[in-house]
Amino acid sequence: MILILLYRKRGKIMESVKEKKGLFKRFTSMCVRVMERWLPDPFIFCALLTFIVFIGAIFLTQATPLQVIGFWADGFWSLLAFSMQMALVLVTGHTLASSKLFKKMLSTFASGIKGPKQAILIVSIVSGIACVLNWGFGLVIGALFAKEIAKKVKGVDYRLLIASAYTGFLVWHGGLSGSIPLQLASGGEGLAKQTAGAVTEAIPTSQTLFSPMNIFIVVGLLIIVPLLNMAMFPSKDEIVEVDPKLLVEPEEVIVNTSKMTPAEKIENSRVVSILLSIMGFVYIGYYLITKGFALNLNLVNFIFLFLGILLHGTPRRYLNALAEAIKGAGGILLQFPFYAGIMGIMVGMDADGMSLAKLMSNFFVNISTERTFPVFSFISAGVVNFFVPSGGGQWAVQAPIVMPAGQAIGVSAAKSAMAIAWGDAWTNMIQPFWALPALGIAGLGAKDIMGYCLIVTVVSGIFICTGFLFF
């Protein structure tokens, strides 16, 4: 009898807990469970996308299977230069962020955080602001900051913490390192070719990055996303704290200076690092003076590289940090050629000049009006981004279609371009490709965080569409 009463009492308590767990919490839990169960490894995800576009190209265009294979092979190595730039941004950004100065700064900030929900809020804000400044730095600094917070704050859900760090990446293409706005600002014959003649002159960043519409979207997301992440904090029985093994840092090797060979003395010389840094910063200064604050990927890499060399003190310390950073870039180096192959299939034309990318983009263009064109271009860019998760690749695929269509409808080139840019950034939240560096630092898999990112995708998509409709 007592056991029955205890069982009934326990049942009532559990029922009460379930009642208190609101609809949003239950929806969040469901998304997390679905992603944990069904989302494969990012490389397998890439392979599945390859199969999908291969089949799609055969059935939706007039291309033969052998022709589609040719499109795939032709595109496979087309992004090597861009891949190297991306890898260097990630590696040099990671190496810079792992320097003692940055680590000390992160530890100091993390020590001031009082509770788990505050931790989620702050890491979301920090990551978002960092990604506005530079996407590569933001990805890395967000993950490192989250990992440092996990050491200091008890009771925080590690999966949501890393997801919050990654959601900062949502705003990158509206920030200072956005590749599409920067390409528009560069102008030249290349721009006219990329846009099929729709844009023949440079479009300044005042019309793209610093336009009222873009500022509205960026600032709005920097407010909404942190609050949303905090609202997704799981109930006590669902919290997954960090595995202590993931927080172990590699020990710094202490060099015995008395037994160094001449070569080792050079490797551990601060003079070498200082001289290299001076050369790098002289060029950076010269560039900024002559060309203004027009950052491109090469200059960003320059800044990260030489600032990292300076802060690490000696070439040997920098090389050791670099060796750790390279581990996070392995997935990107493997997957970039496959995504380049997918892009090759997407843009490969049959005998009638039709391609998957044209079919997809034309569908959204054909149902658009002047008012709705930016919204549908944004959605189409979000869909294409699954198959081409690269800002540069996205631009190469969609610019020749979207930009002339926008011009014909009467939409400004700046707005059409930003629709592509935001579409590229938007579905990165559920495209595990760009999460690889953060996941590598955190020691998690894509399936651990994508449930939370799915909800961010839905909410942010609605807000971004609102921005395009209001401006």
Say what the pLDDT of residue 164 is.
95
**Is residue 172 a part of any domain in this protein?**
yes
Domain count, the chain: 1
User: Left if phi > 0, otherwise alpha if psi is -120 to 50, otherwise beta: which for 339?
Assistant: alpha
Find out whether 208 and 184 touch, Cβ atoms under 8 Å.
yes
Please report, in tens digits, the pLDDT of each residue of the chain (471 residues total): 433 443 344 444 344 444 456 888 888 888 888 888 888 888 888 899 999 999 999 988 888 899 999 999 988 888 777 778 777 877 887 788 778 888 788 888 888 888 899 999 999 999 999 899 878 778 878 888 898 898 888 889 999 999 999 999 999 999 988 888 888 887 777 788 888 888 888 888 889 999 999 999 999 999 999 999 999 998 888 888 877 766 666 666 666 666 778 887 888 888 999 999 999 999 999 998 887 766 666 887 888 899 999 999 898 889 888 887 787 677 778 888 888 898 889 888 887 778 887 888 788 878 888 889 999 999 999 988 888 877 777 888 888 888 988 888 889 999 999 999 999 999 999 888 788 778 877 888 888 999 999 999 999 999 999 999 988
Say what the pLDDT of residue 263 is.
82
**Is residue 95 a part of any domain in this protein?**
yes
CA proximity to 137, closest of 268, 308, 264, 261:
308
Instruction: Tell me the pTM.
Output: 0.83
**Is residue 13 a part of any domain in this protein?**
no
User: What whole-number distance in Å separates Cα of residue 55 and Cα of residue 30?
Assistant: 31
Cα distances (angstroms) measured from residue 390 to each of 167, 347, 387, 418, 468 = 17, 15, 9, 15, 22
User: Left if phi > 0, otherwise alpha if psi is -120 to 50, otherwise beta: which for 385?
Assistant: alpha
Say what the pLDDT of residue 233 is.
92
User: What whole-number distance in Å separates Cα of residue 155 and Cα of residue 21?
Assistant: 18
**Is residue 288 a part of any domain in this protein?**
yes
**Is residue 67 a part of any domain in this protein?**
no
**Is residue 439 a part of any domain in this protein?**
yes
Say what the pLDDT of residue 119 is.
94
Find out whether 75 and 345 touch, Cβ atoms under 8 Å.
yes
By three-state DSSP, how is residue 399 classified? helix
Find out whether 247 and 150 touch, Cβ atoms under 8 Å.
yes
The parent domain of residue 201 ranges over 24-53+77-240+267-470
User: What whole-number distance in Å separates Cα of residue 7 and Cα of residue 395?
Assistant: 61
Based on its alpha-carbon atoms, the radius of gyration of the chain, rounded to whole angstroms, reads 24
User: What whole-number distance in Å separates Cα of residue 249 and Cα of residue 435?
Assistant: 21
**Is residue 38 a part of any domain in this protein?**
yes
**Is residue 357 a part of any domain in this protein?**
yes
